A and B are shown apart, each in its own frame.
Chain A
Amino acid sequence: MDHFPTNWGRPRNDLNDAYNTYPLHQRPYNGPKDTFADGVQRTQQPIVTGTSVLAIKYKDGVMMAADTLASYGSLARFKDIQRLHPVGSHTVLGAGGDMSDFQYIQTSLDTLLIEEEITQNDGHSLGPSEIHEYLKFLMYGRRSKFDPLWNSIIVGGVKDGRSFLGYVDLLGVTYEAKTLATGYGAYIAQPLLRDAVEEREGQENSITEEEARKILETSMRVLFYRDARSLNKYQVATITAAGISISESQHLSTEWSFAEGIRGYGAQTQ
């Protein structure tokens, strides 16, 4: 029996969910201390974490969804945190993993944008592929200093009539695809998203906004049923040629009456 409550109800292997707090961060140590033993302290584990982000390309651009929960280990700590962040007028970021690292990234990108779009004021603006490239260097640079930003980030956007959907994580690994999912979503939702897109092979651009919204809602519901670090409140971002819109948080309807019929677990034997 493990008598340490913070370890209860956790996956046995943290490879299952590399972006979650495990274990809860170290408590203060009040014993004798060698000041120079550790050298510099770096991010070694995520603390307050967000779970999956989902995204899909559709007819008019890119749609992205993320729930509004920031967990502290298995504790649902902050239930109204926005994990979708607009950058300029063509791009939205969605992040899983450490929320303080994500907020640092938001700040540094906002500063970059002030320099690139307001100070220079040359009529050029940063598109999603430029933001993605910048983040790749930021994340890869930090992993090479052994001081990673503990996130997996989806970058989506539309500029000059081209839609872009890319991924970057704490290692600096990047890729692009028609559908993307981070964290548990990569296991559970990505197959659903691919199913929806690949059944229209060759005519992906025919997915309407309503259909994309429907696909994402279904996937978010499945995630809420299965991912113990998720919440039934989520936001959807759409990025089209017309601009960015990030919705108010929406409630996921769920059906639990089937649970009445389950027999054979725990003390219930009949």
Chain B
Amino acid sequence: MDGKTAPQMRHFNPYSDNGGTILAIAGQDFAVIAGDTRQTVGYEIQTRYAPKVFRLNDKAVLAVNGFAADGNMFVKKVKQKLEMYRHAHAKDMPLRAIARLIQTMLYAQRFFPYYVYNILGGIEEDGSGAVYSFDPVGSYERESCRAAGAAQSLVQPFLDNQIYFKNQQPIPGGPPHPVHLPLSRVIALVTDSFTSATERHIEVGDELEMFIVLSRSHPQQSLDPRLNATEVSTTASGEKVFVIRRPLKRD
């Protein structure tokens, strides 16, 4: 080998993949946004607790997944803009406006993108539960459920089957498939999605962090005490935000 002819350099790659998975499901008058807390690079577990899901205000929660440095920086900038909006307008930015803000911020970096998949969940101004999902350069749409990250290919087909009832026939003569599922069912689906993804994907595990946003029109304004949820909303009159933390397998 001749070391003199070509300049030998280690090319610098400004990105890495930090694993993990996020997931959000919208109900009629609530939204659930969840993610695991493991942060990896390659086969190495960097830490067992690095949050990927963030409360933005009392009606919006943002989950970020992909390159952790970009993700943290992006969330920081979104929070800064939301704070400036609050100072200017004396109210929280509505969910659909946050979604458009995120698309603008992502597309602004079109030629050096944030390597991050975003899922925004929360309550719209009409009180309905909503989920917005984004690609790294800002394409987005409103959906009722979305998984992203390392185990997207494991979780999304399960969601298509259990939420959208794909490949399921309703019982002949029986009731049609429901359009919206109740909160208890959604929490069970999210928990099962993550325990299953943990079993089959090495980059998923350690802890499940699940945010639940309840619309003011939701019949119950508190959660079943057996869920062991912590309330993190800031006002008594607005939407309610709760966090549930569950252990996942650590191997």
Interface residue ranges, A against B (CB under 8 Å): 2-4, 6-7, 14-15, 22-24, 26-27, 29, 44-45, 136, 140, 143-144, 146, 148, 167, 171-177, 186-187, 190
Smallest beta-carbon distance B113→chain A, Å: 12
The size class of the interface chain B forms with chain A is 20 to 34
* Neighbouring A residues of B251 by C-beta, 8 Å: none
Interface residue ranges, B against A (CB under 8 Å): 1-4, 7-12, 14-16, 18, 39, 41-42, 44, 46-50, 67-69, 72-73, 112
CA distance A173 to B42 in the complex (A): 14
CA distance A172 to B42 in the complex (A): 17
Smallest beta-carbon distance A202→chain B, Å: 13
Smallest beta-carbon distance B129→chain A, Å: 32
Q: Determine which of A23, A143, A177 lies in contact with B49 in the assembled complex, contact meaning CB atoms within 8 Å.
A: A177
**What 11 new A-B contacts, CB under 8 Å, besides A4-B1, A24-B3, A173-B18?**
A2-B1, A23-B8, A26-B7, A29-B7, A44-B11, A140-B69, A146-B12, A148-B12, A174-B72, A175-B50, A177-B48
* Neighbouring A residues of B18 by C-beta, 8 Å: 173
Known: A144-B112, A177-B48. A171 touches B16 (CB 8 A): yes
* Neighbouring A residues of B48 by C-beta, 8 Å: 177
Q: Are B69 and A174 within 8 A (Cβ)?
A: yes
CA distance A4 to B2 in the complex (A): 7
* Neighbouring B residues of A171 by C-beta, 8 Å: 14-16, 67, 69
Best-buried of A15, A22, A144 by chain B (most CB within 10 Å): A144
Q: Are B1 and A172 within 8 A (Cβ)?
A: no
Pairs A–B under 8 Å by Cβ, sample size 13: A22-B10, A23-B8, A26-B8, A26-B9, A29-B7, A143-B14, A146-B12, A171-B14, A171-B69, A172-B69, A173-B16, A175-B46, A176-B49
Q: Are B7 and A167 within 8 A (Cβ)?
A: no
Q: Are A144 and B68 within 8 A (Cβ)?
A: no
CA distance A231 to B156 in the complex (A): 49
Q: Which residue of A lies closest to B2 (CB)?
A: A4
Q: Which residue of B lies closest to A179 (CB)?
A: B47
CA distance A24 to B112 in the complex (A): 30
Q: Are A173 and B69 within 8 A (Cβ)?
A: yes
CA distance A29 to B6 in the complex (A): 10
Q: Are A44 and B9 within 8 A (Cβ)?
A: yes
Pairs of residues from A and B, 7 with the lowest C-beta to C-beta distance, nearest first: A172-B69, A175-B47, A177-B47, A44-B9, A45-B10, A173-B69, A4-B1
CA distance A7 to B3 in the complex (A): 10
CA distance A54 to B108 in the complex (A): 39
